[in-house]
Structure 1
Amino acid sequence: MSAVDAVRRTGMSKALLLGASVLPFIAIAAPAAAQTTPSTGTTAPSGDTSAPIAATAPDAAAPAAAPDAATPAPAAAAGEDIVVTGVRASLRSAQNIKRNADQVVDSIVAEDIGKLPDRNIAEALQRISGVQIQRNFGEGSSVAIRGLTQVRTELNGRDIFTASGSGNSLSLEDVPSELLAGIDVYKNPSSELIEDQLSGTINFRTRKPFDFTGFKISGSATNTYYDLIGKSQPAASLLISDRWDTGIGEIGILASASYQKTNFRQDTISTEPFYTLDQTRKADGTPNSPSDVATAALLGRTGQTTTLPHGTGIGEVYGDRRRLGVDVSVQWRPTSTLEFTGEYFRNDYKLRSYGYSYFAYTSGASITPLAGAPFTYASNGDFQSGTFTNVPIGDNTSIGTRHSVTSDYSLNGKWKPSANLTITGDFQYVDSKTNNLNSIVGLSGTATTLTQDISGTIPSFQIASAAGLTNPATYSNGFYLDNLNHSEGTDTAARLDGEYRFDGGILSSIKAGLRYANRKNTTSDTGYRYTGLTGAATNLTYVGLGDFFRGQANLFGDIQAFSLPTVLDYDATRAALNIGSTPAYLPSGTNTQSQKTYTGYVAAFFKASNLPVPVDGNVGVRVVRTQSAVTGFYQQVDLITAADGTQSTAAPSFTALGETNTYTSVLPSLNLRAHLTDKLQLRFAASKNISRPNFSQVNPSLTITEPGTAQIDQQHTASTGNAYLKPMTSTNFDVSAEWYFSRTGSLTVAGFYKDISNYIQTVINQRQVTFNDGVTATYDITTYNNAAKAKVKGAEVAYQQFFDFLPGDLKGLGVQANFTYVDSQAPSPASQGPVTQLPLEGLSKYNFNLIGIYERGIISARVAYNWRNKFLVTTAANGTGNLPIFQKASGQLDASITANVTPHLSLTLNATNLTNTIRSTYYGIETRPRDSIMSDRQISGVARITF
């Protein structure tokens, strides 16, 4: 088995005891008087790109956040509009942002300090129409907007990213949601917003001290129980803010911090790649694959299309996450025309995943059916059940860790020298570091028989060996793999923006600005170091698998594996295996990327109020000069074969690689809005944008390691980037109708179309390599290319309303619902088997959210169901036999209930993944399953205090 195959097979791909904190939920029955606050409106952007897109009330969370839900406002005057705080206020604020924005945007606003509707940022984003998420160990980790994954992430209108091999965007699972006041999703940005996205821009907004009228303190404590792993973990957040009038002007300071510790467990059942028996013959009548012809004859399938899997396995992965976030901001207003804001944002994230994988697997080598055993097939000849013999088995104990720290320093100054002119300057520096470790101890042996049945919802299989799977004597060989990786990225950006507002006339304002950014990224990787283990296996642990997949899987029983407590300590693992050193960072394992951009834009905003149908909007252009450079190495590792046949690795040979690229992009934009009535408006938007390749896609580094004698017949894989990739270019069109029939009620319908050039896709190319000892091997190299064209089109429908016309307590009922349809057309890379035409990766054609809300008196509750249909995970990947991988349609149900016990104290109970959703993938067609994945259900109790 190759190192890459071994990594693939590691699997790293009780009621909550709330006590007295939840007893008030039982006791609360009578509704309390609803809290109200004066209505506040929102305005269009003011030209400060780091500022909110909507104006804020004096005590509102920046920007356009819900009114202060913790403190009752003065009673409204007779006849004055009022709005209930909490969910209603956040929905109203988000609706106002969408309604009054100069461009196509959707928002999520925190109901209160530290209270987004979902604790995970990605899972909160999935409630927005057009947004689809992918999960990592049960948590939302990345998003696609309108079917495209090329998303730009910003913090307060500035760059934010996690240093990694890709290094271009923020890992959404890293940031504690309690630090955010809201999230804006720009789907067709205008020219004053930063470029580098195809699908949209996600802007995370933090709070500032001037968002509050004076002193503010808010804190929360959470305990969450994870039912599959059977553990609970705490979380806490605290915000303190105040502002003062001083002799040098008004000064405000805000500090907030959030700490989260989470656990998880993920159980996976995998079926390995499917290979169709090659029964073709040469011109002389001899078979091209004698072994396949013999297998077909043994199965009684001579002349019939027959496809067999080459193995199966399980992964039982445990893990934990730790998030620590800090946000400190200082604001100074020396005069009424001058304001400065300085902010420090730090995000510290740790992820640890560890556990066992166990599998029977031949990779690309033939698999042998057991003579006389019954076999069944689908109508297309795909294997459904049967028994194989003499199958290699693997037993891995592994750990993978990631530690990412991102620090963001920013300074913003806004000067208003006259009533018409506003000048804004902004500076930012980002420093991000990530360290990764992978450590795997593998044991191997041979199974007497492997019996598989993949015809049901959950695949089942049985592995038998002569000595038994819990007998150490079964595992005659072993290996150790370890790998270290370090990434560091920096970004220095500065911009100057100006806006001049005109008095009267159609032209209302002109905005113009300049921006410079210098992004650098360096990644160093040791590569996987392979150490063969000889002699009888030692330091083993008995592993019981009786509760695997909640006991729903029909499996082979318990196993012996290398000690997990030892593997959790990297130094102890190496000591147990008599390995003194760590893998070395070689020059050839380092690659660098740099990107400088020089940008200028101008935008004109207009308003024709005297037309029969009032129209407003903006037109502009953004011009960007990009200079990029990448460096890396081609590295080849040969084997040395001693006289006795033993093999060891030679010193690597390597060749330096590099490429530079410079190009200019002209990106026009147009946004129009027609006000048909006070409540009904139409929008049209057109723009052009680019999305540059991420750093991993242009990294030219490639390492080829010669296979050993035992591996020569297996599938050999490697991966590299393409330094010659061009940026993707998209021409975008949006039309929408928006009906705002109440302060928290709206119905919107939107259509969109994107015409994309140079779309980047994953491909696999074959390369033959001849090594110094004359051995020749064929490698499947995963890389990227620019497809000629891609098109994305679709429609969104979104609706929200509180049913205030209902009698009594039923007035508290409300609903949010949205539906998205997305279709794509793109050239597909060559794909084996039955699937040769593929959609874009990550795109579900259909997606919907349905959220039921109840808010009345002191009770606030919501139940949310999210569903998406099947989508393409990847066009091809290592270990798949060059087949595409799809994920089946799936949905998830989440719920929460809050009791606002007093104006200052609330208690919340959250539940996630109530449906115990199993996420399943398959190779191209559903008769070829790949993974079935089960994750934790979560129950959280939250106490929140605000003064």
Structure 2
Amino acid sequence: MKLSKLVVAMAAATAFSTVSPMLVAQDEGLEEVMVTGIRGSLQNSAAIKRNAGEVVESITAEDVGKLPDPNVAETLTRIPGVQGYRYGGEGASPVGEGSGLTIRGLSGQTASRLNGRTYFTAGGREFNIESAIPGMIAGIDVFKNPSAKHIEGGIGGLIDIKTRRPLDMDERVISGAVTARYNDFVGDIDPEIFGLYSETWNLESGGELGFLFAATQQKSHNRSDSTPSNTGANLRRAVRADSAEYATLAAANQSYVGRSDVWHLVDATASDDPSNLIATTSQNAHVFQEDIIRDRKGVNTAIQWAPNDDFELYAEGNYNYYKYEQDYRFMIMSDSRTVQGLETEAFDTTEAWVNRNANGGENAVLATQALASGTFLNSTFNSLGGKENRPYETWLVATGFDWNITDRLNMTTDVSYVKADQTQDNRSVTLRPKVGNTWDITRDLKTSPHNISISGPDLADPNNFVFVDYGNGTHQVFDDSGYAVQTDFKYEVDGFFNAVLFGGRFASQESNYNNYSFGGKALTTNGSGLLADQSNAISVADFAELTETAPKDWVKNKTDFAGGYLVFSPSLLNSDALRTNFPQANIPADGSIPENLGGRRYAKEDTLAAYVMGEFATAGERIRGNLGVRVIQADVDARAMVWDTTGTTAQFVPFAASSSYTDVLPSFNITGELQDDLLLRFGYSKGITRPTLGSLNPTISVDQTTGRGSAGNPDLKPLEADSYDLSLEHYFGPANYASIAVFNKEIDGFINTAESCETVSVAPAYTGAVDNLCSNGQYFITRQVNAEAGSARGVEVAVQTFFDMLPGAWSNFGVSASYTHVKTENPIVRDGKVVNVPQAFQSDDSYSIAGMYENEGLSARLVYTYRSDFILFGVAANPAVGRYVKGYGVLDGSINYNISDTYSVTFTASNLTDSAPVRYVGEPGSVTTGFQNQYYINGRNFAVGLRATF
């Protein structure tokens, strides 16, 4: 197609409000060349970064429905400053841990947007990025220091997902793709389908009408095998069986008396010599095998009507469905204290590791040895077969208009509504060996994974096991919704300031939570708990058809034990099999499970925001920037159900609380062109991250025997951060740039636990005999409060280029790389002292490097992403009970070949290195250890697809 200009950004870039596409050739005699593929994506991202008025990084789709990775969370880790997690074989968070992404070291403190609008997953404020489907996305902007015009809510940064709109595309676009996905550990093939139809009509009355509809479904099947073990120092003293003391130990097996190769491990006491003590951390590794099925569905539709160049009316809808399903088969080991062939290795267990040296002393050594290997005689275990289901749904509908009222004044109004639901359902059945059945378990903690071998009765024989119980330990429902009305104005003026932006927004979000969890439904002859002698037991052999054996290639046969143990079949847990075969257990039917009223909560938050921002330029626009302020008033109403014992009959009663606060958030950004291709950028902003609506629960509970209790805090305030950015950016081609940035976030309001004496309205005055440190009938109450200050500081380096300066085929190669170093201080209170530890999920160092090739329809990309050690979940009270993930890297690749202008084939490979986030006991830094807490193996993912665009 012959056109009139050379365009270096894809047409889809016009959907991005940050910048317009960059034009680099002005000669009207030239053909316009639409640069697509990898080059087009990089050129568009570079243009957005270069022309933005604030600190932003972008990723744009290479083509309709094609991000560079099969998983959005994986794509985002290519951006400097963004660190991700891979759980269960994909870019995802550990289950229940939000988006799994950190921006500049801050996890759980990012804001999620869809086309600039608030977008969230039920139960939180963030959108669960792992549920996003790449085919639906045109691009992603990550704002690291947002200006005043952006909706507040993330001190780490703001992730804005962009979908497509019809007027940004050709007159008619029809696109579709079929992809087959394969995990080499599972062996199954799963489908993905994508379709898009977009049409733009030129109206006889003038103007344009556009319609777009896109839908997709993606299914993936992964497997995760692991070896979770115990944390904590667990100090023991070994007593050999040929010693006089062994014969006096009541817990010791007396049949081994006199043996020199057998020891009994007794609990350490304060009087024991540290040289005689052993840390048994990570000893009791369990056997976990999980099948993980993810089902994603998405629909996006948009209508745009532009009767002229000055007015546009639009309506949009977005639907996202994500179901995380896990079938798990566990052996929960219970090692005996009798060990044959005990081996230890030198390891100093210090007070710093066990209690953060809370006494402020000399950091004494508490033990000098650690368990290395041994055979734990006469051990046992429980078998657990379970199923977890987590379906998420999020709907968003919006309408609005964009109106150029005059040549200088523009007005936009947007009205949106979000509905989000989530159910978390985790149920399982426990089996136990028959009385008298034991196994000898040999462990070697020096290997990775820990080597395990098991000898004893047949692990797959139903006659060797009895039923214990059934539980629905997690069964909770989140029902959230929100709406927003936003109006923005832009008025162009003359002078130093060339435009004034101002506007307002009202938003309301509410969250409902209900809990239906239960446990302990005994699967016995009388419905009572299993007795120690198992006289009321039901043999598994009586219902063997309800069981199965776990796979026999556990952790890809990397240990002597390969699996094949008996479990209750997870596939039957959503059926009536248990209720039918065990009527004495009184298992309620789905849909009739009674609610745990004490867990019910509700919260509603209304916010009213206004902002004003001036955009300025001087020195021939070589110096440009913006200065603004955003003011937000927030009103929160929260309700809980609390146990009231003040009346004649104790009962659950509603308990309500409310709070209000105002935030003033200034921002300033300035960019100077030191040369035509060299930019110096500075940014400052004040930002907030509000506590989750669930954390504002006003519940309170007390123990009338001890006079102590705990309470929620509806008065929690947002975390506040003053963020500073300074960056230098050098552009040396349409897609080529190198940049370095330093940043500093000073954060206030970290949450810690506080204690106080309080009068409790739902309990009588305390009169117990136990001294609770309070008087006048008050209770000693603990609750979370905003208390401490911390920080996140670091440096980011990035470069991307195609080697256009090289001759011949070498010019088809390119590279994109980024490196981030970040340090965070997360204050926790330990025995009255503030201790600064890293943020959870934050690695000090991370980098990504990609090699690229593109020429005449063939493109390829190979990406290696690495991150150093990081704390898992939250910071533990003591490092000995904490967990961290050891640094690891992942290699991904993709190949795309255009068969014609219409058809293309794609191939992607994820985790070619078969890496996984292996967990260890301790914390990154001075309290790392060699104690492996949980080895993981997930396998490699491959996909091949056929795409067509008309």
Please give the range of the TM-score, normalised by the shorter of the 2 chains: 0.7 to 0.9
Q: 1:330 to 1:728 in 2, by over 3 A?
A: same
Partner of 2:321: 348
Partner of 1:713: none
Q: Distance in 1 between matches of 2:668 and 2:934?
A: 45
Counterpart of 2:105 (choices 128, 147, 154) is 147
Q: Does 1:577 align with 2:582?
A: yes
Report the Cα offset of residue 334 of structure 1: 2.0
Q: Distance in 2 between matches of 1:599 and 1:551?
A: 58
Counterpart of 1:759 (choices 738, 750, 758) is 750
Q: 1:660 to 1:136 in 2, by over 3 A?
A: farther
3-state SS in 1 of match to 2:576: helix
3-state SS in 1 of match to 2:580: helix
Q: Distance in 2 between matches of 1:318 and 1:293?
A: 36
Partner of 1:566: 572
Q: 1:41 to 1:452 in 2, by over 3 A?
A: closer
Report the Cα offset of residue 443 of structure 1: 1.4
Report the Cα offset of residue 135 of structure 1: 2.6
Q: Does 1:266 align with 2:224?
A: yes
> Could you tell me the TM-score, scaled by structure 1's length?
0.82
Report the Cα offset of residue 179 of structure 1: 0.8
- CA deviation map 1:697-746 (0-9, x unaligned): 3335589999xxxxxxxxxxx99965443210000000000000111110
Partner of 2:740: 749
> Could you tell me the TM-score, scaled by structure 2's length?
0.82
Q: Distance in 1 between matches of 2:27 and 2:710?
A: 64
1:323 and 1:349 in contact (8 A); partners too: yes
Report the Cα offset of residue 798 of structure 1: 0.4
Partner of 2:211: 253
3-state SS in 2 of match to 1:919: coil
Matches within 5 A, 1:232-381: 232-247=189-204, 249-277=207-235, 294-295=266-267, 304-309=276-281, 311-361=284-334, 368-370=336-338, 373-380=341-348, 381=369
Number of residue pairs aligned between Structure 1 and Structure 2 = 841
Partner of 1:845: 844
Report the Cα offset of residue 196 of structure 1: 0.8
Partner of 2:164: 207
Counterpart of 2:139 (choices 182, 190, 195) is 182
Report the Cα offset of residue 477 of structure 1: 5.2
State the one-letter code of the partner of 1:481: G
Q: Distance in 1 between matches of 2:194 and 2:182?
A: 18
Q: Distance in 1 between matches of 2:643 and 2:562?
A: 41
Q: Distance in 1 between matches of 2:853 and 2:16?
A: 32
Q: Does 1:590 align with 2:600?
A: yes
2:167 and 2:210 in contact (8 A); partners too: yes
Q: Distance in 2 between matches of 1:315 and 1:453?
A: 18
Partner of 1:933: 936
Q: Distance in 2 between matches of 1:837 and 1:385?
A: 35
2:326 and 2:388 in contact (8 A); partners too: yes
2:475 and 2:516 in contact (8 A); partners too: yes
1:636 and 1:703 in contact (8 A); partners too: no
Report the Cα offset of residue 247 of structure 1: 4.6
1:469 and 1:558 in contact (8 A); partners too: yes
Q: 1:571 to 1:425 in 2, by over 3 A?
A: same
Q: Distance in 1 between matches of 2:659 and 2:7?
A: 52
Report the Cα offset of residue 122 of structure 1: 0.7
3-state SS in 1 of match to 2:342: coil
1:36 and 1:84 in contact (8 A); partners too: no
Aligned-residue Cα RMSD (Å) equals: 3.8
Partner of 1:30: none
Counterpart of 1:487 (choices 456, 470, 478) is 478
Partner of 2:947: 944
Q: 1:512 to 1:721 in 2, by over 3 A?
A: same
Q: Distance in 2 between matches of 1:636 and 1:138?
A: 47
3-state SS in 2 of match to 1:436: strand
- CA deviation map 1:627-646 (0-9, x unaligned): 11222235699xxxxxxxxx
Q: Distance in 1 between matches of 2:754 and 2:186?
A: 37
State the one-letter code of the partner of 1:325: G
3-state SS in 2 of match to 1:311: coil
- CA deviation map 1:465-495 (0-9, x unaligned): 5x44334354345111114221111111001
Report the Cα offset of residue 304 of structure 1: 3.4
Partner of 2:430: 442
Q: 1:704 to 1:275 in 2, by over 3 A?
A: farther
Q: Distance in 2 between matches of 1:197 and 1:563?
A: 43
- CA deviation map 1:127-146 (0-9, x unaligned): 10000012332222221101
State the one-letter code of the partner of 1:794: G
3-state SS in 1 of match to 2:809: helix
State the one-letter code of the partner of 2:560: N
2:880 and 2:921 in contact (8 A); partners too: no
3-state SS in 1 of match to 2:676: coil
Partner of 2:148: 191
1:659 and 1:723 in contact (8 A); partners too: yes
Q: Distance in 2 between matches of 1:508 and 1:547?
A: 67
Partner of 2:354: none
- CA deviation map 1:65-93 (0-9, x unaligned): xx9xxxxxx99976678574211011000
- CA deviation map 1:160-190 (0-9, x unaligned): 11112xx211111212111111000000000
Q: 1:368 to 1:571 in 2, by over 3 A?
A: closer
Q: Does 1:425 align with 2:393?
A: no
Q: Distance in 1 between matches of 2:698 and 2:379?
A: 37
1:838 and 1:875 in contact (8 A); partners too: no
Question: 212-221 vs 733-742, which deviates more?
Answer: 212-221
Matches within 5 A, 1:802-817: 802-817=802-817
Report the Cα offset of residue 301 of structure 1: 7.1
Counterpart of 1:894 (choices 878, 892, 895) is 892
Counterpart of 1:550 (choices 553, 556, 566) is 556
Q: Distance in 2 between matches of 1:35 and 1:303?
A: 82
1:696 and 1:721 in contact (8 A); partners too: no
Q: Does 1:665 align with 2:663?
A: yes
State the one-letter code of the partner of 1:355: Y
Report the Cα offset of residue 423 of structure 1: 0.7
Partner of 1:126: 77
Partner of 1:734: 725
Q: Distance in 1 between matches of 2:82 and 2:180?
A: 29
Report the Cα offset of residue 527 of structure 1: 2.4
2:5 and 2:31 in contact (8 A); partners too: no
Identity %: 30
Counterpart of 1:106 (choices 33, 52, 57) is 57
Q: Distance in 2 between matches of 1:388 and 1:636?
A: 49
3-state SS in 1 of match to 2:872: strand
3-state SS in 2 of match to 1:827: strand
Structure 1 alignment gaps of length 5 or more: 1-32, 58-63, 68-73, 280-288, 362-366, 638-650, 707-717
Matches within 5 A, 1:701-720: none
1:782 and 1:877 in contact (8 A); partners too: no
Report the Cα offset of residue 412 of structure 1: 1.8
2:871 and 2:884 in contact (8 A); partners too: yes
1:787 and 1:827 in contact (8 A); partners too: no
Structure 2 alignment gaps of length 5 or more: 93-99, 238-248, 252-263, 349-368, 525-536, 757-762, 773-780, 923-927
Q: 1:473 to 1:837 in 2, by over 3 A?
A: farther
Q: 1:537 to 1:784 in 2, by over 3 A?
A: farther
3-state SS in 1 of match to 2:899: coil
Q: Distance in 1 between matches of 2:250 and 2:729?
A: 66
Counterpart of 1:599 (choices 609, 613, 627) is 609
- CA deviation map 1:742-799 (0-9, x unaligned): 111100100000000012369999xxxx9xxx999x9xx9985545111110000000
